[in-house]
């Protein structure tokens, strides 16, 4: 981004949010019609029962569970790009991370519909929610289906918080832009003011924000691995051939990231063109995604080979005959379609000409999405259709109801993404601006004065406005050397060198997050163990207190409460609960200007102004 300035990045992203044209509303209307048709088919299914689907004996799980697993998998790339690559400091993630995070939220929302749709009797879903009742009927926390509720619910909550926290600085920039151009009474101005929580970009806010965002990433990273592992246990914990395999957790996680990265390309490539974001989302960003797809596709291919090897080497005749049936039986076309779409076609990204061609990137991403959906279908229905007993073998064919509801789910997902693309920043402004700031700055020393980052509106102060963070850093150094102890900075980006210079005390956010994680761990085990002892039922030959299965509930509780406590600490210590900007805040501080506010005595104002002039401020304001 060295060729773009802070203001240009700001303008490119926020101009993409301008009022959409007629084609956009036609697309929204079409997607709403698809959703409406899917909803009508769902109502038809509720009225006439599950007999309107192709589900039968022995195939009781098929397209609906396929959609659930597929959409949960699509959600994984958002957390991978935002959390894991953030911890690894991969710069290419910045351009696509916001869209991937939004994709995660909408994919989990879509996935959450299908357990309800598959349930048939929708009104009975509350039996799986752990709530106290007079009948003392608690869910069985040994069941993988209950683990699903805990894992997916936690994943949605944490991903939503992570996404919204990442949006806060960018929404402040959108707030200030719409306030300038449309006034305080415009709907979007009010919306962005509420969602930005009064963010001012002060140094103390960035200090706590950096710690909090880091902990969110650290908490979300194991969640990526755990969620689809838990989903895979829905199948691996059974004894059916093709399902009962220890390879399922890594197999499902790799496949989830594989399909999620492909969906990133499917969504971001058209979005980049339609919103004119070519200067921010460049071909090298897509190339990095394509290289990662080579890795995940190779892991998926390895899993396909490993499945066959395990079936042969195990000596289990039933497992081996099932694997041969999957390869050469009536459903073999699905298996070979998966091999071609998920393994062979993505290997074309090895060639630079392929992975740098926008058209080929988009087309191959569609093939991967198709292949991964059919892979989920293959895994789910083939084991049910061809189990241990030949007289129990059967077939499955989806009906128009299942196909319509599936299409409705795609319409539901794209409807939300279309809305996001025009309502919220699709590219993280603060991350891209931070990259520009890093290229401008030089290593700074350490302030010998113990500086308090605070604003005292009752004392005289001097506010200097700068065009670059380098000038701001120089002004802070000069103020420190002169012995001024109370100052605050304003910036549209996090400035690491400023933190080194001022050396603020460690943020208390870390201890609050740790306390929340510990409470979640203990609370998870207490919930699972305490409810199991209410009736002390032995289910599936497992004792009521099954400590190892309860680890899933304890883990999800750790991540959930750790994230909620982290959010509460960020809001409290950054003073975001006030819902208003800091005193002396200037709207330009969210776009491309940097400010230094120094508190002093009235007789020190002339001296302070003289100190700041060599740093070349654009403006100096004195507040008595």
What is the pLDDT, as a whole number, of residue 483? Answer: 83
Mean pLDDT for all residues in the chain: 90
CATH fit for domain 6-437, picks 3.40.50.300, 1.20.1630.10, 1.20.1250.20, 3.90.226.10:
1.20.1630.10
What is the pLDDT, as a whole number, of residue 444? Answer: 67
For the chain, which residues score pLDDT lower than 50? Answer: none
The Cα 398–Cα 500 span in angstroms is 61
Write out the DSSP string of 559-572. HHHHHHHHHHHHHH
**N- to C-terminal Cα separation, the chain:** 40
Cβ–Cβ under 8 Å, residues 497 and 434: no
Dihedral sign (CA 446, 448, 454, 458):
negative
CA angle 469, 472, 476 (to 5 degrees): 140
pTM here is 0.92
Q: Where are the domains of the chain?
A: 6-437
Exposure of 213 in the CB half-sphere (CA atoms within 13 A): 20
Q: Which two tokens stand for residue 226?
A: 């755990």
C-alpha closest to that of 197 among 168, 159, 160, 175: 168
What is the pLDDT, as a whole number, of residue 2? Answer: 53
Cβ–Cβ under 8 Å, residues 262 and 365: yes
596: part of which helix (H) or strand (E)? strand 594-599
């Amino acid at each position: 981004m060295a060729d773009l300035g802070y203001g240009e990045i700001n303008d490119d992203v926020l101009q993409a949010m301008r009022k959409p044209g007629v084609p956009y509303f036609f697309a929204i209307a079409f997607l709403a019609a698809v959703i409406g048709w899917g909803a009508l088919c769902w109502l038809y299914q509720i009225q006439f029962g599950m007999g309107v689907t192709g589900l039968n004996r022995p195939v009781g799980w098929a397209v609906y569970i396929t959609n659930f697993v597929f959409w949960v998998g699509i959600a994984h790339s958002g957390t991978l790009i935002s959390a894991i690559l953030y911890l690894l400091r991969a710069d290419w993630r910045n351009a696509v991370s916001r869209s991937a995070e939004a994709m995660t939220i909408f994919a989990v929302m879509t996935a959450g519909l299908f357990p309800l749709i598959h349930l048939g009797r929708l009104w009975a879903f509350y039996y799986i929610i752990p709530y106290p009742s007079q009948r003392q009927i608690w869910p069985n926390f040994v069941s993988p289906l209950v683990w699903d509720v805990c894992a997916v619910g936690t994943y949605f909550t944490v991903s939503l918080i992570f996404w919204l926290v990442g949006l806060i600085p960018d929404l402040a920039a959108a707030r200030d832009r719409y306030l300038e151009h449309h006034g305080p009474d415009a709907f979007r101005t009010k919306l962005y003011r509420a969602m930005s929580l009064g963010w001012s970009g002060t140094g103390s806010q960035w200090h706590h924000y950096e710690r909090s965002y880091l902990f969110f990433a650290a908490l979300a990273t194991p969640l990526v691995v755990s969620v689809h592992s838990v989903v895979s246990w829905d199948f691996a914990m059974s004894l059916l051939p093709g399902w009962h395999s220890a390879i399922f957790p890594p197999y499902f996680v790799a496949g989830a990231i594989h399909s999620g990265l492909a969906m990133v390309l499917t969504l971001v490539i058209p979005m980049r063109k339609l919103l004119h974001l070519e200067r921010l989302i460049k071909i090298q960003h897509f190339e990095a995604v394509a290289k990662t797809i080579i890795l995940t596709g190779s892991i998926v291919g390895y899993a396909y080979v490993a499945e066959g090897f395990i079936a042969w080497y195990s000596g289990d005749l039933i497992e081996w005959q099932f694997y041969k049936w999957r390869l050469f039986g009536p459903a073999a076309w699905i298996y070979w379609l998966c091999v071609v779409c998920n393994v062979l076609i993505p290997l074309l990204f090895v060639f630079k000409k392929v992975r740098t061609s926008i058209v080929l990137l988009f087309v191959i991403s569609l093939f991967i999405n198709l292949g991964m959906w059919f892979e989920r279908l293959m895994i789910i229905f083939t084991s049910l259709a061809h189990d241990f007993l030949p007289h129990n073998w059967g077939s499955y064919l989806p009906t128009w109801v299942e196909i319509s509801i599936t299409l409705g789910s795609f319409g539901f997902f794209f409807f939300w993404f279309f809305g996001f693309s025009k309502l919220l920043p699709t590219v993280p402004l603060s991350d891209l601006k931070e990259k520009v700031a890093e290229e401008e700055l030089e290593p700074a020393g350490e302030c010998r004065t113990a500086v308090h980052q605070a604003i005292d509106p009752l004392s005289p102060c001097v506010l200097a406005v700068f065009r670059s963070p380098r000038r701001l850093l120089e002004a802070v150094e000069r103020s420190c050397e002169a012995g001024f102890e109370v100052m605050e900075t304003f910036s549209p980006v996090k400035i690491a060198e400023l933190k080194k210079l001022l050396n603020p005390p460690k943020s208390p956010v870390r201890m609050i997050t740790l306390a929340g994680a510990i409470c979640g761990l203990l609370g998870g085990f207490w919930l699972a163990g305490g409810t199991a002892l209410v009736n002390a039922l032995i289910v599936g030959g497992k004792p009521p207190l099954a400590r190892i299965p309860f680890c899933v509930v304890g883990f999800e509780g750790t991540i959930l409460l750790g994230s909620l406590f982290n959010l509460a600490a960020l809001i409290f210590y950054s003073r975001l609960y006030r819902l208003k900007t800091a005193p002396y805040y200037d709207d330009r501080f969210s776009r491309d200007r940097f400010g230094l506010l120094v508190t002093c005595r009235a007789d020190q104002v002339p001296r302070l102004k003289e100190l700041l002039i060599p740093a070349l401020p654009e403006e100096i304001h004195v507040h008595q």
